[in-house]
Amino acid sequence: MPFTLRDLGLNIKKTRESRESRKKPGKPMLQYELAQAAGIPASSLSNIEKGKYRNPTWRILTKIADGLGCEISEFFADEKKKISASHLALDEMIDMIVKEKLERLLQEKMRK
């Protein structure tokens, strides 16, 4: 199943909730607290977390990541596989390199 805006919003919410609130120590970071730290309207953050924000720009996602003190890639983690986006990209690169190497080896073997 493809990664959706809803998945993005849930990952942002989970990341936010994994951070401790500065205003209420011992509690998860509040939505309005992150919105202030990111410099975006609380309503925008709410809509992003619900998957209702149609086109969250890279700039907005960068502000949210900065407010959380994390990398944007955390927002794109595939929850089903528990693998971060950077790991997925690395896996794809390795698969591509292995495939290319195998194709070259097969071509060399067929020439002989």
Check: CB of residue 65 under 8 Å from CB of residue 48. no
Question: What's the mean pLDDT in 19-48?
Answer: 94
- Burial tier of 43 (Cβ tally within 10 Å: 0-12, 13-18, 19+): exposed
Q: In the predicted model, what is the mean pLDDT of the chain?
A: 87
Question: What's the mean pLDDT in 36-64?
Answer: 93
CA–CA dist 13, 31 (Å, integer): 8
pTM score of the predicted model: 0.67
pLDDT tens-place string over residues 56-97? 999 999 999 999 999 998 888 765 555 667 777 787 888 889
